[in-house]
Amino acid sequence: MSAEEGPRPPHPSLRSGRDPGRGRTIATVCLSGTLEDKIVAAAGAGFDGIEVFEPDLVASPWSPAELAARCADLGLSIDLYQPFRDLDSTDPARFARNLRRLERKFDVMAGLGVDTVLVCSSVADDAVDDPDLLAEQLAAAAARAGERGLRIAYEALAWGRHVSTWEGSWDAVRRAGSPALGLCLDSFHVLSRGGDPAGFAQVPADKLFFLQLADAPRLAMDVLQWSRHHRLFPGQGAFDLPGFLGHVRAAGYTGPLSLEVFNDVYRQADPARTAVDAMRSLQWLEEARAVGGQESGRSVPPPAPALSGYSFTELAVDGVSGPQVAGVLAALGFTHTGQHRSKPVQLWEQGSARVLLNASVVRPAAAGVASVAALGLESADPPRSARRAGAMSAPVLPRSRGAAEADLAAVAAPDGTQVFFTRTGPDGWPADFLPTGATAGPGSGLTGVDHVGLTQPFDAFDEAGLFYRAVLGLEPQEVTELAAPFGLVRTRAVTGPDRAVRLALSVAVLRRGGWAPAVPEPQYVAFATDDIVATARALRAAGAPLLGMPANYVDDLAARFDLPDDLLAAVREHGLMYEEDAHGGYLHLATEVLGDRVFFEVVQRIGGYDGYGSADAPVRMAAHRRRRQAARADAHAR
């Protein structure tokens, strides 16, 4: 192993004057659009460098030197040229042609001013199976690179013909013994095959030329398809990226952290938004890897303060939907206890559940719409929550504040929902509300907010999971899929460690077309009760618009579960829904949709049930659809 023990060449980021270990890089293949769109997006999100994905350059009218100049103008370094495929060959004539092809790419690299090319293990029929011949061919290529001051980072594709593990790629690099040849480690290729990154420690640091990072969901599919369509940014999937990065850093890698994510959704989504999402993934990863700043020389975001629950949920209403929602809140047992000092905002309370009805939110939607506009989350340190959000690339919202009003910090979530960091107390946000004089009645048994259900824009689902994880410190849970009447729906909850905050995020698995209902799936607020039958009885007595469930649904429950007769009767009478998981049961009910976009649920968790009733969602959606159709028919008849 003498070849690896010579003096270590400086990393290019050092040569270019950049501090080591501080580079955040993104491969252009991660982003949609033309090359111009991509570099503008990467720079806008604060990346330091890019990997140039060859097909992006091939389709560009810019010469390599022009691209380099534009990147320099934007403050972006070019850290890698990739990929070069199928270098080695058992056919000497073809290998000679491959070397000529490589030389032409060296010409391109000279124009770009990049010194490292990614060569991935061959997938061709003529790939070399003989370790010595492979090392010989890699060494020959590296010699040519070295002559031009360039170097080759060799990467094992998980589906490479003969080299498909990082150990295989390291064996070839070690045998070749060329100073201009080293490894590119890619988290997807290693972790998708169950590889062990602890072994990186055996590789001399100066052979760790480059690091590509991607997360992924656990999928049982061909690894090539998995890689090409379903990669995710770190923190969005199921891989242990912090652990992986820890092993890479422990092995002495000092180069940039570079994202290489092939993902069908990101390929067609707004690249400016994707780039911010990508940046947040690295911020999250750096923090998860080493709280306290060992990973990065940058300023360290303050840790996320604990969130102890919902202080309020705010609905945007108008002159039509406002009275309708207020009437339903009253029927749910809420009391209108406060009126905002300077804005047309009502405060409704029951137990620790508080709902704001805000008639001042300007929305382009049609008249009569009500929607979830904001969530108030109770933070142990609201200013720190806001600082952390800003440090995690969350858009912090400007606030207009009246005299004697609380200074509420808020950020915009990916779906546009405003998230306020609050501290509920005498000098907190409730002080902005003047008492109406109404005193809270006995209520209907609602004790607080269990969770909020937020349907996400199609492109924002994975972004949203990471947003809540990185910005708020919530943990994404398992992804579930269900067959709803108008197409598949994917749901993923993000939760606080003690479940004081739960959000159920959902999205259509395929973006809907003309046949889908014109109105998107409504958002909802789920209130908790300890006795849903008593609550349901109170709600019905008060005339709350509860959604009925079909008799077939109850018959099916009776067939599937051993429910006591009185409970089954209550389920049938009150339109309850029921499901179980391994830990317990879940009783819930829904109101009709109010203002076209929102409804309320009442839920009772029994035992350790940890879900969100998503198995019942198709039945609930079909019932909502029937109610909507019936309401339209009524409106036409009138």
Which lies closer to its own copies via its Cβ, residue 224 or residue 438?
224
DSSP structural state of residue 55: H
- Contact set for its own copies, span 467-486 (CB under 8 A): 483, 485-486
Q: Does 100 bind its own copies (CB under 8 A)?
A: yes
Q: Which of 50, 172, 449, 619 binds its own copies (CB under 8 A)?
A: 619
Q: CB of residue 513 vs its own copies: minimum separation in angstroms? A: 6
Q: Please check whether residue 117 is in contact with residue 150, taking contact to mean a CB–CB distance below 8 angstroms.
A: yes
Count the residues of the shown chain that bind its own copies, applying the rule CB under 8 A. 68
Q: Which two tokens stand for residue 621?
A: 């959606």
Euclidean distance between CA atoms 262 and 264, whole angstroms:
7
What burial letters (b/e) apply to 261-297, b meaning 16+ CB within 10 Å? Answer: bbbebbbebbbbbbbbbbbbbbbbbbbbbbeeeebbe
Which lies closer to its own copies via its Cβ, residue 1 or residue 58?
58
Choose the stretch contacting its own copies; rule: CB under 8 A; options: 10-18, 260-268, 318-326, 493-501. 260-268
Q: CB of residue 267 vs its own copies: minimum separation in angstroms? A: 5
Q: Please check whether residue 505 is in contact with residue 493, taking contact to mean a CB–CB distance below 8 angstroms.
A: yes
Q: Does 104 bind its own copies (CB under 8 A)?
A: yes
Q: Does 634 bind its own copies (CB under 8 A)?
A: no
Q: Does 54 bind its own copies (CB under 8 A)?
A: yes
Euclidean distance between CA atoms 168 and 190, whole angstroms:
11
In whole angstroms, how far apart are CA 55 and each of 83, 84, 103, 439? Answer: 9, 11, 17, 67
Q: Which of 6, 55, 584, 608 binds its own copies (CB under 8 A)?
A: 55
Per-residue x/- track, 30-49, its own copies (CB under 8 A): --xxx---------------
The neighbour count for residue 637, using CB atoms within 10 Å, is: 6
Euclidean distance between CA atoms 542 and 210, whole angstroms:
66
Q: Does 626 bind its own copies (CB under 8 A)?
A: yes
Which lies closer to its own copies via its Cβ, residue 390 or residue 517?
517
Longest dimension (CA), the chain: 91
Q: Does 541 bind its own copies (CB under 8 A)?
A: no
| Alpha helical stretches, state H, 16-91 | 35-44, 54-58, 64-74
- Compute the residue count for the chain: 638
Choose the stretch contacting its own copies; rule: CB under 8 A; options: 102-110, 281-289, 495-503, 588-596. 102-110
Q: Does 632 bind its own copies (CB under 8 A)?
A: no
Residue 155 in marked binding region: yes
User: Helix, strand or coil for residue 429?
Assistant: helix
Q: Does 15 bind its own copies (CB under 8 A)?
A: no
- Contact set for its own copies, span 547-606 (CB under 8 A): 550-553, 555-556, 558-560, 562
Residue 346 in marked binding region: no
Which lies closer to its own copies via its Cβ, residue 144 or residue 229?
229
Residue 186 in marked binding region: yes
- Contact set for its own copies, span 209-228 (CB under 8 A): 219-222, 224-225
Q: Which of 10, 65, 91, 97 binds its own copies (CB under 8 A)?
A: 97
Residue 260 in marked binding region: yes
Q: Which of 48, 186, 286, 459 binds its own copies (CB under 8 A)?
A: 459
Q: Which of 180, 265, 406, 409 binds its own copies (CB under 8 A)?
A: 265
Q: Which two tokens stand for residue 275?
A: 């780039």
92-112 vs 64-74: helix crossing angle, rounded to 10:
40
- Contact set for its own copies, span 393-452 (CB under 8 A): none
User: Helix, strand or coil for residue 502?
Assistant: strand
Nearest CA among 82, 75, 87, 76 for reference residue 49: 76
**Going edge to edge, which strands form the sheet with 371-379?**
409-412, 418-422, 371-379, 307-316, 353-358, 345-350, 335-340, 433-435
Q: Does 69 bind its own copies (CB under 8 A)?
A: no
Q: Which of 298, 512, 572, 628 binds its own copies (CB under 8 A)?
A: 512
Q: Please check whether residue 376 is in contact with residue 420, taking contact to mean a CB–CB distance below 8 angstroms.
A: yes
- Contact set for its own copies, span 267-286 (CB under 8 A): 267-271
Q: Which two tokens stand for residue 43?
A: 């720079």
For its own copies, the binding residues (CB under 8 A) are: 29, 32-34, 54-55, 57-64, 97, 100-101, 104-105, 107-108, 219-222, 224-225, 229, 264-265, 267-271, 457-459, 483, 485-488, 508-516, 550-553, 555-556, 558-560, 562, 618-619, 622-623, 625-626
Pick out the residues of the known binding site for a divalent metal cation. Answer: 155, 186, 212, 260
